[in-house]
Structure formats: structure tokens, C-alpha cells
């Protein structure tokens, strides 16, 4: 019986919420307007926590085959060019430079992530979103859209990382 | 409430217990056996079967892939029939695969799968299968489990004694069941006798890429060539074909083709004919037949019409072809693993006739002939006969072998499998089939090295064996354990279409080579979009080409405007995924064709001809991720005279 009361309470709340929504809709039929209204509401509580995409975790190496990456002071331009070619084919559908798209943008990524973490995210996304707390939060932040495993080789992933350094 | 639930659960529990008691009571005598049979076919969740079985779909036109011993269906590979599920014969890429000299033929009757061999052992590279109605041979590549080549057979009709391979896959053989005028011409049907021909075609298989080519056709007397098998071991280099209707009747064959006491097994020394042809023998004859090849890099098939075929008149190659008298319209023509014995299953007889290859060679050498048929010597029956298997069964059809010197023959009329010993011809066991068994299969049972262990009998009638499904009920396969002296029936399972024949092989030989994805970097499709940067829409008159990509979980572009009524819109969709088991599907409202089902790294194309002004959605048809339901887009269709230009976008 207790359970039933609880359910009724939820039902009522849903009904109430539904009514509320209907009222805002009456203000106008434009979908855009309504969207911006909800976004503003969400912004208030989010000031408490830093978004996963904006967190800085330079000591987290992630989960996967890459234990250590040494970056030379100078960018290897040939490797970066190869990396761009791989990126354009394998990554561009979801990651755009300078713009949040399906996933986060790759520019300045090394200011927020370790090179190992980046490569592990490319090479081992299935395990990363299960075992790495940051990757898990990113999945949430990006709407549950999974990072696809594009079956890159380690060499290709390294080249993509070098390309990221040029952005 | 809880109490009531508990009460109901208790009652259900009791009922279950009671009914299970009842079942055990009824089947008391077979109870223990049934439980051990269940264990033998049980493949635990997540475990793999020991064998693949490729079972022909008969009038479905397709090839099904089952696991043994579980009887689980893994895939139906489209071969000769359109398959909307996989867009086979519907998308622009695979339509050419079903092209023939008669135009686009969307169906056939798929009969006899056979796995490629090396040194007489199954190597698991390809399965060949024949289309019986509009004569064709197809090749299924077992790295992708897809049909990658189909070749039409000219001068043939009812391509039934096919598609069997020699022991190094030198040739795939396609023999005609119906004899016809060669070349085809307008003539009275009743002038069949002496004028019609039966073409036996030998298709070479390129050892590197598997490409098939009709090397030569033997234009044999106008009999019906029913089934065939190659020699192996000592008899490698020969091929054996059963014949019936040696009466050359052209009507009421049910009676008229059963007059002769004996028909023939034709023994063909193909090595001799190969030499003859390589030396310039044979005649190039005008022909018209389709050769269709699917390329896994362009993801596209091409169809080429061939205009010539090399024909050989058997009397021009003396010593290459002989007839072995065999009683009663023989069906199966099966060679034992040693290559010494050729078993003819006289389907209107009770007995099996076994010929000896060694005796045949002696009879040829000593010219022990019993006349000739259209210039082809007939060997004396007694001089080639090795033995007769008298089983008491009726209607023997087909025989396969295990690795321990046993043979297994199906009997259609008496509906049973009979086990007998090769050499002593002694019958050692018989088990009933449910019902009316046609062919059977032992994994590797038509090679030098049978795997043995199981036997699959393929039944035409199932009547009361399963829950009824209206007037049309399934045909079936029955699995027997053949490791003991007695065969033990383990399992019945339904099949697709009509299972005419099957080929089985140890899973280990194939599964490691099974591809998981197509590499995007190898995608050479003419309309591929292998980078999202290249997405575009182009107009060429009334033709519009959409270069689209998909990845979890969006199409790019997903908003398209500027399409007009009367346009022919080609959606060329590339799946950018590079991970195993992430296909995407797509279709749009009102498309007069099937969906696409695009594997990772692949490009496929469907055509849409919008007929109505409006904004029409398209969406992903294969569940791909948690955001699959969001994977959708719109095409705006304007009136024919509209001046809205093409535009496309994603996320803008």
C-alpha cells in the first residue's frame, strides 16, 4: 500500500509537470524559444560542478594499451599531416575543430588531457567509457553518444595525437 | 495482494511439476536416451558450434548457415533470389549479380552447395552452389559469407548435376539435367531424340582470386544428367555423372523415362579433355551468357555478357568418356574417400550399385564393351561392378561417407538412412527419417577426409513434427550421431525453402578468416564518401546524387532541400564505422525498393523517385546505439517547376 501511494505521488508530479509545460508552450509555437528557456534553467545548478569536457586531468592516463607517450618539443609535421588524413577519414564525422559537435573538439586537448589518455580513448573507447571515471562523465555530458572504436592502429592514433598538437 | 501472488505461483509450480512427471511417464522407454541426446546437441550460451553446415535453400534460392550440433541458424546468404533484408538485388551495387541473358532474374532454385578443396580436403575458402532453373553457378566467399560471383551456363537447362568441385578446386562442374537443342533453335519438340544435347560444363577456378571461367563444354547425348561427383585419390582426373531418360523421351517421362532396365553413369576423363583443349581442340561456338562479379573493394558488382564458349564433341576425344551401365534411373553418384568406388543410387530400385574404378580401367584397357551410345563406348556391367548393397530399403538417393569405412545412404520411399560397410557391402544399421528424406550430409563426407561424427538428413515432409503453420509447413534437417555402431537421432530442426543438399566443415577452418569490417581506406566505391569533409549533393539534370555518411548516430547530411518531384535521387551511403557489428540501415518514405544494410566501411546505394511534394523523413533501420531513435533526417521535395536550389546540412 505504501508503494502504491508513492507511485500515485509520482504520477501526480508527472501530470503536474506536464501541465506546466503546456502553459509555457502557449507562449509561442517556436521550438527554438522553448529550448533556450530550458537551457537557461539548467545553467544555474551547473555552476557547482565543472563539466567533464572542461576538467583538467593531466595525470590521468586512462585505461588501455598506452602506458607512456613521449612528446618531443618540436612537432613532427610529417606525422601530423598523416594524422590529419586519418582524422578526416575516421574522426571528423563526430569531432570538429573549435566546435562542440557529437563529441568534444580536439583543439587544445593536451591542455586538459594527458597524451596517454587521448590515445587510450581513441584505441580503447569501449573499456574507457566503462572504467575511466572521466570518460564515463563525458559519455553523460555528450548525450550518451558512444565514442566509436574506429579500429585505428597505435601508429595511426599517435599520428592523430601529433595533429592535435598543431591545432 | 502478495499472498494471492504467492498462491498463484505455487499453483503454477505444481502444475509444471505435474506435467513434467506426465511427460516422463509417457516417454519412459526413450527417457534416458532423450536426455543424453539433449546434452549432445546443447551448445551453451556464448559457446561456438563445432561445425558449420551450409544447407541449400532450394526454391528459396539462398544458402543457409547453421551450426552443428546445435542446429542454430546463423545467416541466410542471399544467392539467386532478391533479399530485401540485405538489399541483395535491390541496391544499385548488387542488381548486376542477378543479370542473365534473359534479363534480370530475381529468383532461382538453389540445389547443391560444395566447399572448395585442396588435396582432396575441404579448405573452407568458398562454397559453390548451382541455380537449377536459369542455369547458373554461384561462388560464396567464406571470408565475408557473401556471394561474390555468378556465372550463367549457356547450352544448359535445369542445371542439376552441379556444383561439385575437383580435389584441388581445378574445376567446378555444371551438368545439365534437361537436354535441349544446341544451339537453341525453333524445332518440333518430338524431334528430341538424337537431336537434343546434354552439356557438361567445366568451370576453372583461379587459384589466386577464385575467378571462374567456362573452360569447355562437353556436348553429350540427349539424356538427363542428374548428379555428379569427382574422382579422388587414384581416380582424381575423372568425373562421374548419373544419367536417366536414356530413352530420350520428350513427354510423360514419369513412364517413358523408366523403360530401360539400366541407364548409365558417364565417366569423364577431364584431364584428357583438358589436354585436348589446351592443344587447340574443340570448337568456339557463339553464345550469350552473363558473368557477374562482385568486388569487395568497390562494393559493387559488374555484369559482363560473354559471347563465346568452347564446345567439345565427345567422339573427338577417344578414350575420354565411357558409360557404366547402372540400374534404374540412378540419382546419387558418390565416390568414396579412397576414390576406388563409385556408388550409383538407382532411385527406382531397392539396391545400390557400386562400380570399381580399378575394374573400370581394366575394362577400358581390355575393350570390354557392350556396344556404344552415339559413339561413346558402353562398358560391360559385370566387368565394372564391385558389388551391390541389398538393404531391403526402397528408393535409394544419395550416399556419403565417414572416415572409418562406412557409407550412409538415404532411401526416399522407405524414408530411412542405411549404414553399410564399403567393401563388404554389408548393411549394419538403419534409422527412420521423418519423413521422405532426400539428400544427407556428413561433414567432409564427399572428400578424401571426412570429419565424420554427425550426419544430417534433409527431409521433404514434416507433417506432424512441428506445431502446424497452416497448409505450408517447413522442411527439415535431422541430426544423427554416427560415432557409434548404431546411428542415434539427436535433433530435428527446420530449414529454409527446400534443403536439397548441404556441405559441412569444421568451424575452426573458417572462423578465424571471417572478416569483421571493410577498411574505409580500401573503399574504392565510385560514390564513396570516406571523409565527412566530402559530403555533398550534386544535381545532373533530373538525376541527383547524395553523397551521404553514417556513423553513430547521425546521417550527414540530415537535412536536404532542393529536391523536386520527378527527380531520380541516388542515396550513396557510406558507413564510416570501423568497429565489428555496427552496420547502419537506411530507407526513406515511399522508396520503391528495399532498405540498405551497410556494413562498416561499406558504401551502398538506393534510388528514390519522389512523387509527392512535402518534407519526407528517412531514418536508420538497424538499431545501432542508444541514440538510434534520433538517427533520422528530412528531405524537402518541391514542385517540379520550383527554383529552390540544392542545399544540405547537418546540425545547422
- Cβ pair B531:A89 closer than 8 A: yes
Between CA B38 and CA B36 the distance in angstroms is 5
* Residue of A82, A91, A106, A151 to mutate, interface with B, max B Cβ within 10 Å: A151
Residue A48's pLDDT band (cuts 50, 70, 90): very low
Checking if the pLDDT of B24 tops 90, the result is: no
**Residue of chain B minimizing CA distance to A126:** B579
Closest by CA position to A60, among listed A121, A146, A126, A142: A121
Chain A hits for B555, Cβ within 8 Å = none
**Region of poorest pLDDT, from A35-44, A150-159, B589-598:** A35-44
Does B290 share its domain with B177?
A: yes
Contact in structure between B60 and B496 (CB atoms under 8 Å): yes
pLDDT in tens, B524-577: 999 999 999 999 999 999 999 999 999 999 999 999 999 999 999 999 999 999
Question: Which residue matches cell numbers 527419417?
Answer: B433
Checking if the pLDDT of B141 tops 90, the result is: yes
Number of domains in chain B: 2
* Residue of B517, B519, B532 to mutate, interface with A, max A Cβ within 10 Å: B532
Name residues whose C-beta falls within 8 Å of residue A128's C-beta, 6 or more positions apart in sequence. Answer: A62, A63, A64, A120, A121, A135, A147
Residue B28 in domain: no
**Residue of chain A minimizing CA distance to B549:** A93
- Cβ pair A89:B554 closer than 8 A: no
Phi, psi (rounded to 5 degrees) for B376? -100, 125
Q: Cα B289 to chain center, whole Å? A: 20
Does A30 share its domain with A59?
A: no
**Residue of chain B minimizing CA distance to A89:** B531
Does A64 share its domain with A121?
A: yes
Give the pLDDT score at B317: 98
| Domain CATH for B363 | 2.130.10.10
Does A83 share its domain with A13?
A: no
What CA–CA distances, in Å, run from B40 to B276, B479, B489? 52, 11, 11
Between CA B400 and CA B47 the distance in angstroms is 28
- Cβ pair A88:B531 closer than 8 A: yes
Q: Cα A27 to chain center, whole Å? A: 33
Checking if the pLDDT of B12 tops 80, the result is: no
Does B460 share its domain with B533?
A: no
Residue B349's pLDDT band (cuts 50, 70, 90): confident
Buried b (16+ CB within 10 A) or exposed e, B627-648: bbeebebbbbbbeeeeeeeeeb
Query: What is the count of residue pairs from A and B with beta carbons less than 8 Å apart?
Result: 50
Does B247 share its domain with B180?
A: yes
Does A81 share its domain with A156?
A: yes
Does B495 share its domain with B540?
A: no
Does A25 share its domain with A64?
A: no
Between CA B80 and CA B61 the distance in angstroms is 5
Give the pLDDT score at A49: 78
Number of domains in chain A: 2
Chain A hits for B529, Cβ within 8 Å = none
Give the pLDDT score at A20: 43
If DSSP states are collapsed to H, E and C, what string results for B240-258? EEEEECCCCCCCCHHHHCC
Q: Which DSSP helix (H) or strand (E) runs through B358?
A: helix B357-365
Residue B183's pLDDT band (cuts 50, 70, 90): very high
The answer, for A4 touching chain B at a CB cutoff of 8 Å, is no
Strands B543-551 and B568-575 turn out to be parallel
Does B474 share its domain with B561?
A: no
Which residue range(s) make up the domain with A39?
2-48
Give the pLDDT score at B166: 98
pLDDT in tens, B389-400: 998 899 999 999
Between CA B98 and CA B96 the distance in angstroms is 5
Checking if the pLDDT of B584 tops 50, the result is: yes
Residue A19's pLDDT band (cuts 50, 70, 90): very low
Give the pLDDT score at B392: 86
Strand partners, B239: B230, B268
Does B324 share its domain with B295?
A: yes
Does A27 share its domain with A103?
A: no
- Cβ pair B576:A145 closer than 8 A: no
ipTM for this prediction: 0.78
Residue A1's pLDDT band (cuts 50, 70, 90): very low
Average pLDDT, chain B: 94
- Cβ pair A94:B553 closer than 8 A: no
Residue B22 in domain: no
**Residue of chain B minimizing CA distance to A139:** B626
- Cβ pair B552:A148 closer than 8 A: yes
pLDDT in tens, B463-500: 999 999 999 999 999 999 999 999 999 999 999 999 99
Q: What is the mean pLDDT of residues B147-161?
A: 97
Between CA B419 and CA B553 the distance in angstroms is 56
Chain B hits for A94, Cβ within 8 Å = 551
User: From its phi and psi, is residue B509 left (phi > 0), alpha (psi between -120 and 50) or beta?
Assistant: alpha
Cell numbers at A35, concatenated: 529550448
Residue B17's pLDDT band (cuts 50, 70, 90): very low
Q: What is the mean pLDDT of residues A13-27?
A: 47
Which residues 508-547 on chain B approach chain A with CB closer than 8 angstroms? 517, 520-521, 530-533
Domain boundary among B487, B511, B535: B511
Average pLDDT, chain A: 82
Residue B223 in domain: yes
**Residue of chain A minimizing CA distance to B529:** A89
Give the pLDDT score at A28: 61
Residue B259 in domain: yes
Residue B54 in domain: no
Does A88 share its domain with A143?
A: yes
Chain A hits for B651, Cβ within 8 Å = 101
Give the pLDDT score at B23: 41
Does B541 share its domain with B566?
A: yes
Does A74 share its domain with A131?
A: yes
Contact in structure between B486 and B271 (CB atoms under 8 Å): no
Instruction: Pick A89's closest partner by Cβ from B520, B553, B554.
Output: B520
Does A7 share its domain with A85?
A: no
Which residue range(s) make up the domain with B437?
61-511
Closest by CA position to B530, among listed B515, B548, B557, B553: B548
Evaluate the omega torsion of the peptide bond into residue B557 and state whether it is cis, within 30 degrees of 0: yes
User: From its phi and psi, is residue B110 left (phi > 0), alpha (psi between -120 and 50) or beta?
Assistant: beta
Burial class (CB in 10 A: 0-12, 13-18, 19+), B611: exposed
Give the pLDDT score at A146: 87
CA distance B558 to chain A (A): 12
Does B78 share its domain with B180?
A: yes
Does B339 share its domain with B419?
A: yes
The answer, for A63 touching chain B at a CB cutoff of 8 Å, is no
Does B353 share its domain with B266?
A: yes
The answer, for B556 touching chain A at a CB cutoff of 8 Å, is yes
pLDDT in tens, B358-388: 999 999 999 999 999 999 999 999 999 999 9
Does A41 share its domain with A64?
A: no
Residue B456's pLDDT band (cuts 50, 70, 90): very high
Which residue has better confidence, B333 or A46?
Answer: B333
The answer, for A127 touching chain B at a CB cutoff of 8 Å, is no
Residue B241 in domain: yes
Checking if the pLDDT of B105 tops 90, the result is: yes
pLDDT in tens, B241-262: 999 999 999 999 999 998 999 9
Length of chain B: 652
Domain boundary among B511, B543, B570: B511
Contact in structure between B579 and B600 (CB atoms under 8 Å): yes
- Cβ pair A92:B531 closer than 8 A: yes
Strand partners, A129: none
Q: What is the mean pLDDT of residues B625-645?
A: 95
| Domain CATH for B610 | 2.60.40.420
> Could you give the percent of chain B with pLDDT greater than 90?
92
Give the pLDDT score at B625: 87
Does A41 share its domain with A62?
A: no
Strands B559-564 and B647-649 turn out to be antiparallel
Does B97 share its domain with B130?
A: yes
**Residue of chain A minimizing CA distance to B651:** A101
Does A112 share its domain with A137?
A: yes
| Domain CATH for A148 | 1.10.760.10
Domain boundary among B468, B493, B511: B511
Between CA B347 and CA B341 the distance in angstroms is 18
* Residue of A84, A90, A157 to mutate, interface with B, max B Cβ within 10 Å: A90
Does B483 share its domain with B436?
A: yes
Chain B hits for A2, Cβ within 8 Å = none
pLDDT in tens, B602-617: 999 999 999 999 999 9
Contact in structure between B621 and B543 (CB atoms under 8 Å): no
Chain B hits for A101, Cβ within 8 Å = 651
Amino acid at each position: 500500500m505504501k508503494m502504491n501511494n508513492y507511485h500515485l505521488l509520482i504520477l501526480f508530479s508527472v501530470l503536474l509537470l506536464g501541465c506546466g509545460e503546456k502553459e509555457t508552450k502557449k507562449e509561442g509555437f517556436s521550438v527554438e524559444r522553448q529550448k533556450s528557456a530550458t537551457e537557461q534553467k539548467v545553467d544555474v545548478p551547473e555552476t557547482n560542478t565543472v563539466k567533464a569536457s572542461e576538467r583538467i586531468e593531466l595525470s590521468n592516463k586512462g585505461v588501455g594499451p598506452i602506458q607512456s607517450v613521449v612528446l618531443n618539443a618540436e612537432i613532427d609535421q610529417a606525422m601530423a599531416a598523416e594524422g590529419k588524413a586519418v582524422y578526416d577519414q575516421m574522426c571528423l564525422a563526430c569531432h570538429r575543430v573549435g566546435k562542440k559537435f557529437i563529441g568534444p573538439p580536439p583543439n587544445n586537448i593536451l591542455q586538459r588531457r594527458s597524451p596517454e589518455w587521448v590515445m587510450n580513448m581513441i584505441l580503447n573507447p569501449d573499456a574507457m567509457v566503462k572504467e575511466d571515471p572521466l570518460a564515463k562523465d563525458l559519455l553523460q555530458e555528450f548525450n550518451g553518444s558512444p565514442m566509436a572504436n574506429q579500429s585505428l592502429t597505435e601508429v595511426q592514433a599517435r599520428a592523430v595525437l601529433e595533429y592535435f598538437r598543431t591545432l | 495482494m502478495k499472498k494471492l501472488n504467492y498462491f498463484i505461483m505455487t499453483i503454477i509450480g505444481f502444475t509444471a511439476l505435474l506435467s513434467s512427471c506426465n511427460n516422463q511417464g509417457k516417454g519412459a522407454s526413450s527417457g534416458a536416451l532423450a536426455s543424453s541426446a539433449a546434452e549432445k546437441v546443447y551448445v551453451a550460451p556464448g559457446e561456438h558450434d563445432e561445425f558449420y553446415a551450409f544447407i541449400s535453400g532450394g526454391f528459396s534460392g539462398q544458402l543457409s548457415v547453421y551450426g552443428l550440433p546445435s542446429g542454430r541458424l546463423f545467416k541466410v546468404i542471399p544467392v539467386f533470389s532478391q533479399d530485401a533484408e540485405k538489399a541483395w538485388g535491390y541496391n544499385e551495387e548488387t542488381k548486376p549479380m542477378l543479370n542473365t541473358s534473359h534479363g534480370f532474374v530475381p529468383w532461382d532454385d538453389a540445389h547443391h552447395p560444395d566447399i572448395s578443396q585442396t588435396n582432396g580436403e575441404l579448405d573452407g575458402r568458398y562454397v559453390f552452389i548451382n541455380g537449377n532453373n536459369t542455369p547458373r553457378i554461384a561462388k560464396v566467399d567464406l571470408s565475408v559469407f557473401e556471394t561474390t560471383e555468378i556465372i550463367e551456363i549457356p547450352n544448359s537447362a535445369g542445371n542439376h548435376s552441379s556444383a561439385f568441385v575437383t580435389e584441388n578446386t581445378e574445376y567446378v562442374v555444371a551438368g545439365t539435367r534437361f537436354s535441349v537443342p544446341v544451339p537453341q533453335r525453333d524445332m518440333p519438340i518430338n524431334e528430341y531424340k538424337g537431336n537434343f544435347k546434354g552439356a557438361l560444363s567445366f568451370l576453372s577456378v583461379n587459384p589466386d582470386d577464385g575467378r571462374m571461367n567456362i573452360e569447355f563444354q562437353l556436348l553429350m547425348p540427349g539424356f538427363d544428367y542428374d548428379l555428379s561427383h569427382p574422382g579422388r585419390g587414384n581416380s582424381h582426373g575423372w568425373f562421374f555423372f548419373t544419367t536417366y531418360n536414356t530413352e530420350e523421351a520428350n513427354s510423360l517421362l514419369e513412364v517413358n523415362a523408366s523403360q530401360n532396365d539400366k541407364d548409365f553413369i558417364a565417366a569423364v576423363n577431364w584431364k584428357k579433355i583438358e589436354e585436348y583443349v589446351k592443344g587447340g581442340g574443340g570448337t568456339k561456338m557463339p553464345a550469350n551468357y552473363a558473368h557477374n562479379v562482385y568486388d569487395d573493394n568497390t562494393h559493387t558488382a559488374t555484369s559482363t555478357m560473354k559471347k563465346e564458349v568452347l564446345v567439345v564433341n565427345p567422339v573427338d576425344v577417344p578414350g575420354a568418356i565411357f558409360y557404366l551401365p547402372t540400374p534404374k534411373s540412378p540419382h546419387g553418384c558418390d565416390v568414396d574417400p579412397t576414390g576406388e568406388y563409385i556408388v550409383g543410387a538407382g532411385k527406382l530400385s531397392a539396391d545400390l550399385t557400386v562400380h570399381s574404378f580399378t575394374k573400370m580401367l581394366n575394362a577400358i584397357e581390355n575393350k570390354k564393351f557392350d556396344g556404344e551410345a552415339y559413339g561413346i563406348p558402353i562398358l560391360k556391367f559385370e566387368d565394372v561392378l564391385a558389388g551391390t548393397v541389398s538393404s531391403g530399403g526402397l528408393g535409394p538417393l544419395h550416399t556419403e561417407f565417414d572416415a572409418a569405412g562406412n557409407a550412409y545412404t538415404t532411401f526416399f520411399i522407405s524414408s530411412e538412412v542405411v549404414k553399410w560397410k564399403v567393401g563388404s557391402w554389408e548393411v549394419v544399421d538403419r534409422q527412420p527419417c521423418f519423413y521422405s528424406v532426400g539428400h544427407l550430409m556428413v561433414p567432409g563426407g564427399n572428400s578424401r577426409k571426412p570429419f565424420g561424427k554427425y550426419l544430417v538428413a534433409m527431409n521433404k515432409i514434416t507433417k506432424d513434427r512441428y506445431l502446424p503453420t497452416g497448409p505450408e509447413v517447413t522442411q527439415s534437417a535431422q541430426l544423427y550421431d554416427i560415432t557409434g555402431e548404431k546411428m542415434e537421432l539427436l535433433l530435428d530442426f527446420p530449414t529454409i525453402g527446400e534443403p536439397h543438399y548441404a556441405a559441412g566443415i569444421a568451424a575452426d577452418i573458417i572462423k578465424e578468416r571471417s572478416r569483421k569490417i571493410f577498411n574505409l581506406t580500401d573503399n574504392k566505391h565510385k560514390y564513396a564518401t570516406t571523409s565527412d569533409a566530402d559530403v555533398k549533393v550534386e544535381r545532373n539534370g533530373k538525376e541527383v546524387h547524395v553523397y551521404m555518411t553514417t556513423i553513430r548516430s547521425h546521417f550527414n547530411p540530415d537535412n536536404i532541400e532542393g529536391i523536386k518531384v520527378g527527380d531520380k535521387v541516388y542515396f550513396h551511403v557510406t558507413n564510416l564505422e570501423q568497429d565489428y557489428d555496427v552496420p547502419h540501415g537506411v530507407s526513406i518514405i515511399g522508396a520503391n525498393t528495399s532498405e540498405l544494410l551497410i556494413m562498416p566501411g561499406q558504401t551502398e546505394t538506393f534510388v528514390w523517385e519522389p512523387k509527392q511534394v512535402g518534407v519526407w523523413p528517412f531514418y536508420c533501420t538497424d538499431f545501432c546505439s542508444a541514440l538510434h531513435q534520433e538517427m533520422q533526417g528530412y528531405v524537402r521535395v518541391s514542385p517540379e517547376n520550383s527554383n529552390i536550389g540544392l542545399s544540405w546540412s547537418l546540425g545547422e
